[in-house]
Structure 1
Amino acid sequence: MNGFHVEHFTVRHREADRRGDLRLAGWFDFLQEAAANHAARLGVGLEMLQKNGMIWVLSKLKLEMERSPRISEKITVETYPNGFRRLHAARQFRIVGEAGDEIGRASSRWLLLGLPRLRPLKLESLPVELPDNSGRPDYFALEEKLPARGLTPELQVPVRYSMEDVNGHLNNAEYAGLIQDFAAMKRGGSPVFRSVELHYLAAVREPDVLSVGGEFTGNRLFVEGSGKSGQTSFTALAELA
């Protein structure tokens, strides 16, 4: 069983911001793509999940970036699962630039849910055993919670069909894009991020509308969003350069 996975990507024009750097959503997209492909290799990917009435959902992820790769740059994502934290499966990521320099690291937590009620399942419910990488390190300690602050919404984002993922929910990377959008709206220009920790709390789907609010404290940005029901969908804490 291969407990370590390497995947290569090239930054495309549509994944870059005004400066030509990889957008925040692009970072998240590459990480979740590598995770999904590794899960498939391990026998716990989309096909197996659909047969068994299960889905993986990303619960939280913290990413730190040394720099952003540029258009046409080839990057490598190294990833491995490394054990369980209660109901969460832990997964780590290391991102390497074309010159061989480490440009980012990330730690994440994933939940296994049963369909159709989306109840958390024990990871022992999986029909195959995941590799024991418990000796490999966590890159970051993630916050237990990032509580919502009840901030006044300043950005209204209709959820469209094209923004949803294979599970029929707003794609994980879209939330990262909202954080970048909010920072650009408040600070102007093209914001440069050094880190972001994103907690996914409740799924939304079209035709819902996300109401997004946030606040800066120096270069630290807190962002939260909720759907029409008022239930908090996500919270995030980011640091800008």
Structure 2
Amino acid sequence: MFIQNQKERQDIWTETCQVRFADIDCSDRLTVASVFNFFQEAAISHAENLGVGRDSMARTGQVWLLSRMSVLVDRRPQYGETVTVRTWPRGGEKLFAVRDYDIRDAADVPVVRGRSGWLVIDMEKRRPLRPQSIMDNLPQNEGVDALPSGAAGLSQREDLRKTAERAAAYSDLDYNGHVNNVSYIRWIQDALDPKLLENASQMRLDINYLNETLPGDIVQIWTAPVEAGDVVPENFSAFAVEGRRTGDQAVFRAELRLSEK
């Protein structure tokens, strides 16, 4: 439950909240899907605060579309813990408007960090626009980095195997009428061993949102383990996950790394 926010224009948006029962799993700790939900809500609030929220964008025939996101969990906050969620624009990279995030504990230590890449979409032509005219009017927050890098493109893998299938249901949808970005994270969680998720103390999830999923669409979930090496530390378990619509069109592509240490 968010219990504090700010109404004047803010370069860095902050919200204080408690980890709720709905935010945790059997380990009594915040799930990665809940992290994405915290960040989504904070980003929406900050966009409204900066004058580039849903209604303001719609008046100019534009809409924000989340395209990429990376989240690094150093520690999972526990049930009832009070945390501060922060988010801020971080300039642009080509067609992407970059936004960073973190979650800080009561000692002001960042325990979760994230970076996202957003597209500005022309609602009529359904094509991305260059975001520079919008970004020029937003805080740049140079040097304020949640992650040194992130929200990169993920390559298609050839070793994936089908492990699950989901139908896009009412509870998966957002106001745009397509599957919400957080719903995909829940689908990823559900495709993996629950014990791995419950026991994990540290996580990193990178995801690319590639195509929209509409009500009634059937999405096959394909997964594969990722071997330890240059990309995955030895004490981590890692999985590649891809969602495919009928016809093998990818709707999302992700990599999740987990560690009990």
- Same-fold call, TM > 0.5? yes
Other-structure match for 1:74 = 82
- Structural mapping, 1:89-128, within 5 Å: 89-126=97-134
Uncovered stretches (5+) of structure 2, i.e. residues with no partner: 1-8, 229-236
Other-structure match for 1:161 = 170
Other-structure match for 2:254 = 236
Q: What are the superposed Cα offsets for residues 164-214 of structure 1, whole Å, 9 maximum, x if unpaired?
A: 1122221111111122222226x6673525111111111102111110111
Other-structure match for 2:39 = 31
How has the CA–CA distance of structure 1 residues 138 and 14 changed in structure 2, closer, same or farther, with 3 Å as cutoff? closer
Uncovered stretches (5+) of structure 1, i.e. residues with no partner: none
Other-structure match for 2:179 = 170
Other-structure match for 2:239 = 221
Other-structure match for 1:88 = 96
- Structural mapping, 1:31-50, within 5 Å: 31-50=39-58
Q: Which of structure 1's runs of 4+ aligned residues deviate more than 3 A? A: 124-128
Instruction: Give aligned pairs, total.
Output: 240
Query: C-alpha root-mean-square deviation of aligned residues, in Å?
Result: 2.1
Tell me, in whole angstroms, the C-alpha distance in 2 between the residues paired with 1:189 and 1:54: 37
Other-structure match for 2:192 = 183
Tell me, in whole angstroms, the C-alpha distance in 1 between the residues paired with 2:250 and 2:242: 7
TM-score, normalised with respect to structure 1: 0.91
Q: Give the Å deviation of 1:120.
A: 0.1
Other-structure match for 1:14 = 22
Q: Give the Å deviation of 1:145.
A: 2.1
Compare relative contact order (CA 8 Å, sep 6+) and give the higher one, 1 or 2: 1
Q: Is the 8 A contact 1:184 1:191 kept in 2?
A: no
Tell me, in whole angstroms, the C-alpha distance in 1 between the residues paired with 2:197 and 2:104: 27
Alignment partner of 1:52 is 2:60: yes
TM-score, normalised with respect to structure 2: 0.85
Q: Which residue identity lines up with residue 155 of structure 1 in the other structure? A: A
